[in-house]
């Protein structure tokens, strides 16, 4: 089994922590995590791919072991997160790569694709949305904050940052919750409890509207460039619902869409199945 190493890259003075495995001369695969997690969400997937791919999973700015600078010195927007990750790929020498996007990783990775379509060899989206069709009613309180960024609407979103909310995200829609390890959710809650982390996350909730505004641009990219595209979707996701996965085929008719009987954090229960799908897809 190929070992996973744990490294830190200096990205123009910004520390980005990342996991790396696989031969450096193999095809590159970038794994981008979502809220409220970090690169550790790929702990089961990486060993299943690293024999054949050079796999890198960074912690996004403000998440995990990467830097979480003060909000006075760094604006927590998805544009800024994507800029750091774009430079990260350049620093580590990822000039061409497939990208696996999940949740927040999707608007991050899709921004990379918009800016440098020549660098993207394929896209795997695991509950990573790019269509309003895919937004469930669970977004209602966040949309209220977009429409009226009042203190009251901001404070209402703290309910998403509690340990109970994290556990619910991991277990909702899972048939057998004993299959869900406590490790990932407990580590997520540890990071969420750090001083200042709550306001970082609230800032990103507010800025998520910038991703929805970019949906037409993402869709135009899919239509124009038609990258090899695989959607592997936990069909019981309470936030990103199945119509969002099916919608990729509107703009990229060759997109492959597969559903798994699980929730938002599909890798917690279906890492082997998703790895098998990825391997078959990338070797076509």
User: Distance between CA atoms of 166 and 279, rounded to whole angstroms?
Assistant: 30
The secondary structure element, H or E, covering residue 14 is strand 14-21
d(CA 251, CA 233): 18
Confidence of residue 279 (pLDDT cuts 50, 70, 90): very high
pLDDT at 284: 75
pLDDT at 1 over 80: no
- How buried is residue 109: exposed, middle or buried, by Cβ count under 10 Å (0-12/13-18/19+)? buried
Active-site option among 40, 172, 264, 270: 264
Sign of torsion over alpha carbons 199, 204, 205, 206: positive
pLDDT score recorded for residue 45: 98
Six-digit token pair at 177?
Answer: 């919750």
pLDDT in tens, 102-157: 999 999 999 999 999 999 999 999 999 999 999 999 999 999 999 999 999 999 99
Q: What's this model's pTM, rounded to 2 decimal places?
A: 0.98
Q: How far is CA 201 from the centre of its chain?
A: 14
In tens, the pLDDT along 173-195 reads 999 999 999 999 999 999 999 99
What is the average pLDDT score of the chain? 98
Give the pair of three-digit tokens for residue 84.
Answer: 């750091």
Is 225 catalytic? The answer is no
User: In the numeric block, which tokens belong to residue 142?
Assistant: 């966040």
CA angle 95, 267, 237 (to 5 degrees): 110
Q: Mean pLDDT across the stretch 232-245?
A: 98
Other C-beta atoms lying within 10 Å of the C-beta of residue 122: 18
Question: How many Å apart are CA 29 and CA 51, to the nearest integer?
Answer: 12
The Cα-based distances of 72 to 12, 38, 69, 75, 236 in angstroms read 18, 23, 8, 7, 38
Helix (H, G, I), strand (E, B) or coil at 139: helix
Look at the domain 5-282 and name its fold: Rossmann fold (3.40.50)
Q: pLDDT category, 218, cuts 50, 70, 90?
A: very high
DSSP 18: E
- Long-range own/partner contacts, residues 143-152 (CB < 8 A, 24 or more apart): 143/209, 145/205, 145/206, 146/206, 146/208, 146/209, 149/206
């Amino acid at each position: 089994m190929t070992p996973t190493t744990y490294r830190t890259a200096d990205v123009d003075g910004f520390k980005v922590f990342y996991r790396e495995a696989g031969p450096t001369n193999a095809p590159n695969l970038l794994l981008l995590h979502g809220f409220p997690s970090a690169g550790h969400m790929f702990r089961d997937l990486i060993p299943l791919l690293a024999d054949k791919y050079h796999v890198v999973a960074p912690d996004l700015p403000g998440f995990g072991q990467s830097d979480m600078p003060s909000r006075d010195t760094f604006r927590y927007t998805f544009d800024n997160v994507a800029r750091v990750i774009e430079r990260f790929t350049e620093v580590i020498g990822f000039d061409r790569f497939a990208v696996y996007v999940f949740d927040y990783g999707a608007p991050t990775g899709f921004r990379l694709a918009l800016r440098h379509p020549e660098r993207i060899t394929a896209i795997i989206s695991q509950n990573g949305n790019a269509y309003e069709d895919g937004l469930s009613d669970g977004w209602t309180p966040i949309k209220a904050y977009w429409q009226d960024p009042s203190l009251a609407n901001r404070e209402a979103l703290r309910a998403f940052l509690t340990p109970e909310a994290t556990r619910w995200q991991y277990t909702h829609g899972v048939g057998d919750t004993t299959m869900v390890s406590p490790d990932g959710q407990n580590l997520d809650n540890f990071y969420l409890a750090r001083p200042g982390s709550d306001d970082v996350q609230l800032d990103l909730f507010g800025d998520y509207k910038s991703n929805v505004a970019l949906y037409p641009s993402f869709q135009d990219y899919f239509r124009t460039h038609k990258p090899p595209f695989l959607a592997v979707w936990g069909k019981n996701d309470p936030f990103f619902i199945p119509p969002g996965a099916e919608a990729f085929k509107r703009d990229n008719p060759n997109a492959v869409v597969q559903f798994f009987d699980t929730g938002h954090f599909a890798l917690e229960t279906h890492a082997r199945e998703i790895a098998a799908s990825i391997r078959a897809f990338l070797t076509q």
